[in-house]
Structure 1
Amino acid sequence: MTAILGISAFYHDSAAALIVDGNIVAAAQEERFTRKKHDASFPEKAIEYCLTEAGISVDELDYVGFYDKPLLKFDRLLQTYLAFAPRGFWSFAHTIPQWLQQKTHLRRELRKGLGGKYRKRFVFSEHHESHAASAFFPSPFDSAAILTIDGVGEWSTVTFGTGNGNRIELTHELRFPHSLGLLYTAMTYYCGFEVNGGEYKLMGLAPYGEPVYADLIRSTLLDMKSDGSFRMNMDYFAYCHGLTMTSKKFHRLFGGPPRRPESELTQREMNLAASIQVVTEELILCMVEHVSQVTGMQNLCLAGGVALNCVANGRIQREGPFENIWIQPAAGDAGGALGTALLIWHQLLKNPREAPTISTQETSAFGPGPQQEEVVQFLEQEQAVYEIEENEDELCRRVAALIADGKVVGWMQGRMEYGPRALGNRSILGDPRNPEMQKRINLKVKFRESFRPFAPAVRQENVHEYFEMEPGQSSPYMLIVTNVQQSKRIDVNSTATGLEKLEQVRSVIPAVTHVDHSARIQTVSAEQNRLFHKLLTEFHQQTNCPVLVNTSFNLRDEPIVCTPQDAYRCFLLTGMDILVIGNVILFREQQRHAEIL
């Protein structure tokens, strides 16, 4: 037996992943256990879970891999501060002490985090190498081009190369400070959203605006080349030497200071979001075309935080030169833990790899799953009112009927998903035909911005009936945006602008139709998630609609729920109507502790 632990930590979204003899046994983000969103601390609890799942101890590990090279990253920091001196003094004084104390002594920190029980070899892979490994090795391809795009690793911000069999090779890179991820994050910051967490909000806001600033971004902020490479005008950015993303010159260019977080959104922010999204898509499509020309491959694998931009991914699928694409569902830093473990197994140890017919990640459900005895014991302690439905078919029939009746259901089944998306195991579900469902879940259940769109989960065999995709085409990880079919749309004759567009019913599934008629698709097959597919099938039989609203089971600014305790707490604190954990059903009106919302 060969056991390999991969770790990502100390920067953003710490995680651990464990593979045993090449098989993915467990993987999870630390935030799910600590309940701290994007927890960057050493993933002690995630590691403990992975080892428990495998039934091994720390001293039985053969290798431990870390997802980047900290000394290379430290070199980049020092060179950057020297290049911008003396402007970067305060940022230097804020950052360097932590590096000197912790990150330049990473072997010591890793041994400490592992309780001093691991005495074997540590392997440090480069950041984008970890991303590339996470993208290619679990993919269903024997060979593929690989493209990784994020903020920054050590020096690289974009890389591409190829994967063949059990080896990957990255041959080209774009280097810091020129970064598509940091450009998008800078606009995220300027529009008043959280850095390294609010980028998806900016993407969701884009359809409410017009790209009126796109030419200004192209002409002033960027020097763009036809191959997708670019240089940024660093006079407009402060992330190299300051404690903010944008400079005063950036603020003057776009007409004022950054929007204050939580303040009212204006048409300016909507137009800025639309503009940066358009430019981002243009650059990515140019990159993809260039990668195709250089590699000659038919398949493409994507990873890195920018690979979570599902609108751009949809355009790659529709307009790009590749026949097939596969995107790592944990495309951000968390996925680096899995990438470095797989890199050790295949590339360092030279173990063979045979591409599966479907991805080895299937539903990416590598986290903990509750046992019924544990659930019942907890609910008894809480004096909760519940019932158990022993028959699986009857469970799905009842839940489908409740959703069709307008109820919002918290659905916790099996093992927790690895990555930022809930894919039917830690989900909040609703009826997509209900025009009030998007607003209700946003405001009464998740307590978040009303403009945020929800994803449709659709039976894979019906995807082409409701969305502009080929029959049987898959998007299992909710990472592709496409349009609702014309036959399912409703004509809207209105001069509404901005958030007024939310009030318009645009299709027969309005709760999952964005204001530009797009939707972030999750296809569900019986092979990948049997129970969730059965629920969708039952809902289809009852309503003639094979689609459900699927959003992650969490409150705003909290991670996706991990345990029955997390799920029960979220259920009581929100306007959710029903909670289903395994085959245990709870009704909100029967719970004496439920808040009135």
Structure 2
Amino acid sequence: MLVLGLSGNFSARDSDLVPLLPDQLFHDSAACLVRDGEVIAAVEEERFNRIKKTTKFPVNAIRACLDVAGVTVDQLDGVAYYFREDFVDTTLNFFYTVHPKVPTVYCRQLIKQWFAEEFDWDLGDDKLVFTPHHDAHAIAAVARSGMPESLVLVLDGRGEENSGTVYRSGGGRLEKLADYPVFKSLGMLYLNATQLLGYGFGDEYKVMGLAPYGDPATFREAVSSLYLLGDKGEYDLLPNMTVPDLVGPSMLARGITPRRKGEPFTQQHKDFAAATQEALEKIVLHVLTHWAESTGLSRLCFGGGVAHNSTLNGDILRSGLFREVFVHPASHDAGASEGAAFLAADQLGGAARPVRRSRTASSGPALGTEAEVRDRLGAWGAVLDFERHEDIVPVAAGLLADGAVLGWAQGRSEFGPRALGNRSIIADARPAENQTRINAMVKQRESYRPFAPVVTAEAAADYFDLPATEANYDFMSYVVPVREERRPELGAVTHIDGTARVQVVDPAANERFHRLVAAFGERTGTPVLLNTSFNNNAEPIVQTIDDVVACYLTTDLDYLVVEDFLVRRRSADPSADLDTLVPRLRPVTRLARRLGTGAVAAGPAWHEISLDYAGAPVARMSEELFTLLGVVDGVRTVGELAKEAGIVPDAVRAELYELWQQRYLTLTPA
């Protein structure tokens, strides 16, 4: 049986379903294709439309999954969605009421319209299945875990009526044991705290990274006033979470002032982050302690967005409550597309799922055959030099040992937010200055945020204090202590509290990446590399060769490795070579001429470029560049457009390069 699972909302490529649709609404668009209980392909829409955490309908992800499997839509036995139909329609109704000019079309018809328009396929009602959200999270984790029976915990911002659910899994079925309603949402509690610290939806992981810089004792009493632990794994959040912001008013009353976006972090902010993280851990362990003891189950599957809190996950391991723990590599809502597909297959009469542990998250599309990779790199020949090596691993290991920072792109992309060796930026994990260096050359992110290590399975216990509880360290899901004697050796990946979010790699999980880390260890004596996602701060993780090259050319990475090819820039100044490239505006790119206002007459005009989605950036630009972008046609090069517009390319080249860095537009070979 072949079933396609979906997550995300129903917005078009270039517009929202309704104006200013919140990015929290049906987020993390993705598609997952399941055949006879096995994941064939899974990928997030953001990898294609290049919008972080996009909510738009996953049409590109669907097409990619079908291409990976070599099938067409008419071969599908079912299509599954990751929420119940009544919940989705009720939510849409609210926005239709607020925006009466928007046509009132509900989710079943919206999904069917997408398949009709994009794939010329009449999706029958008997093949379209809507699934309970937390059930989808739960079964996704169970299916990948290989556990014959387990306790299952799902925690997120909200499902339909709940924000947490506990299950018993066994015999291929889920038995619901408890629900925690939306007004007890730990995901929303943490989001409210995240917003108080000047961040937004999807930035919770930054607060987790900030927490070790603070002292939780400073605001322990204040944050503890927000919750009350009860009997039998129960808890309450006070005041009731039906209040839109639980944290802000309570903390303001206790002298904890909010941070505005862009302001520096004070010690007060760090202490508040620490107290928030501590509270989350305390509540979750309270819940798990009861259910572990009352059920006697010794294994745990953990899913939902809260399961991406790797510090919490490390605490669960160290608690000793379980013999084994499994966390889904895409435990956020994208992973629920996978669970929805499994649930629909069950409902439609599919075969039982095999009980088998998943060792890889690399279920996205590949970069291509050797010939395809060579041809596409060759198209960039005006700005790149490249050469193929019979075995790229020793070449890359030597460059890393000499201090280079590499972009590393191999095989199929990873499903989920972690780069695990197929779309990675890698460097020597030893020099502490590499953290600052990589932040400056690529990430441009907050200096406090740690980078993660990848270590060979053979050396993992020598470098990290791994708890006795068995866990899937393949997916960077757990923060564990770095052994004290190894901390000076791992300066670039050891966090301020002596911990690291570790990835353990072996040949079964990723043969080439394991060989690379091992080869680096043979040269340096340290079989550990710094591994971070291959993207800059303006984009999601790279997917295609064009994405890979664009990120390389708009950062200061030293080298690029694509499959067996070593790639170098031709020029030390990439902006000097833009004339040969073709600019294209993205579907969400908007150009505007703004007129200033004055007391008597209009003020001076300015020119703007923006991206049209929630939370997107806006930038000003010169009149010359505005004129050039106004005649972009996706065919002519920068040099040709500048000539037609009567602009000297030198006048706009640096400005255009900066807009490319921030992904307002794309530049590709002619």
Determine if the TM-score, normalized by the shorter chain, exceeds 0.5. yes
Which of 119, 140, 145 aligns to 1:139? It is: 145
Structure 2 partner of 1:83 = none
Amino acid at match of 2:138: A
Distance 2:167 2:446 in 1: 39
Distance 2:266 2:552 in 1: 33
Structure 1 partner of 2:453 = 456
Distance 2:140 2:355 in 1: 14
Tell me the alpha carbon deviations over residues 120-153 of structure 1, each in whole angstroms, 9 at most, x when there is no partner: 3211110100000111012121111110000001
The alignment partner of 2:393 has SS state of helix
Distance 1:237 1:482 in 2: 35
Tell me the alpha carbon deviations over residues 184-233 of structure 1, each in whole angstroms, 9 at most, x when there is no partner: 000001101121x11000000000111121221112x2222254432222
Structure 2 partner of 1:415 = 412
Q: How big is the shift at 1:594?
A: 6.0
Structure 2 partner of 1:386 = 385
Which of 224, 229, 234 aligns to 1:224? It is: 229
Distance 2:519 2:547 in 1: 27
Structure 1 partner of 2:284 = 284
Matched, 1:339 2:336: no
Structure 2 partner of 1:117 = 121
Which of 185, 199, 203 aligns to 2:204? It is: 199
Distance 1:513 1:227 in 2: 37
Aligned-CA RMSD value = 2.4
Amino acid at match of 2:108: R
Amino acid at match of 1:249: P
Structure 1 partner of 2:366 = 369
Structure 2 partner of 1:487 = 485
Distance 1:160 1:236 in 2: 20
Which of 45, 55, 66 aligns to 1:30? It is: 45
Distance 1:99 1:433 in 2: 58
Which of 519, 522, 543 aligns to 1:538? It is: 519
Where do 5+ consecutive residues of structure 2 fail to align?
10-25, 577-653, 659-670
Correspondence list, 1:46-445, <5 A: 46-72=61-87, 96-97=97-98, 105-115=106-116, 117-120=121-124, 121-195=127-201, 197-211=202-216, 212-219=218-225, 221-234=226-239, 238-239=243-244, 245=245, 249-250=249-250, 252-255=252-255, 257-346=257-346, 348-349=348-349, 351-356=351-356, 359-360=357-358, 362-371=359-368, 372-382=370-380, 383-392=382-391, 395-445=392-442
Distance 1:385 1:153 in 2: 47
Q: Which deviates further from its counterpart, 317-326 or 425-434?
A: 317-326
Structure 1 partner of 2:591 = none
Amino acid at match of 1:19: V
Matched, 1:18 2:23: no
Distance 1:321 1:169 in 2: 20
Q: How big is the shift at 1:168?
A: 1.7
How many residue pairs are counted as aligned between the two chains? 553
Distance 1:580 1:153 in 2: 41
Tell me the alpha carbon deviations over residues 426-474 of structure 1, each in whole angstroms, 9 at most, x when there is no partner: 0000101111001111222111111110110000111000000169975
Matched, 1:523 2:504: yes
Q: How big is the shift at 1:34?
A: 0.1
Taking structure 1 as reference, are residues 444 and 44 closer, same or farther at Cα in structure 2, changes over 3 Å only?
Answer: same
Amino acid at match of 2:421: G
Q: How big is the shift at 1:377?
A: 2.0
Tell me the alpha carbon deviations over residues 505-558 of structure 1, each in whole angstroms, 9 at most, x when there is no partner: xx2101000000000010001011000000011001101111000000011141
Amino acid at match of 1:479: S
Q: Is the 8 A contact 2:451 2:530 kept in 1?
A: yes
Q: Is the 8 A contact 1:384 1:591 kept in 2?
A: no
Which of 553, 564, 575 aligns to 2:545? It is: 564
Distance 1:355 1:7 in 2: 23
Amino acid at match of 2:494: T
Q: Is the 8 A contact 1:73 1:153 kept in 2?
A: no
The TM-score with structure 2 as length reference comes to: 0.79
The alignment partner of 1:148 has SS state of strand
The TM-score with structure 1 as length reference comes to: 0.88
Q: Is the 8 A contact 1:30 1:39 kept in 2?
A: yes
Distance 1:579 1:137 in 2: 35
Structure 2 partner of 1:551 = 532
Distance 2:199 2:222 in 1: 21
Taking structure 1 as reference, are residues 169 and 388 closer, same or farther at Cα in structure 2, changes over 3 Å only?
Answer: farther
Taking structure 1 as reference, are residues 237 and 320 closer, same or farther at Cα in structure 2, changes over 3 Å only?
Answer: farther
**Between the two proteins, what is the percent identity of the paired residues?**
37
Q: How big is the shift at 1:254?
A: 4.4
Where do 5+ consecutive residues of structure 1 fail to align?
79-91, 240-244, 490-506
The alignment partner of 1:516 has SS state of coil
Q: Which deviates further from its counterpart, 369-378 or 13-22?
A: 369-378
Amino acid at match of 1:530: E
Structure 2 partner of 1:504 = none
Q: How big is the shift at 1:18?
A: 0.3
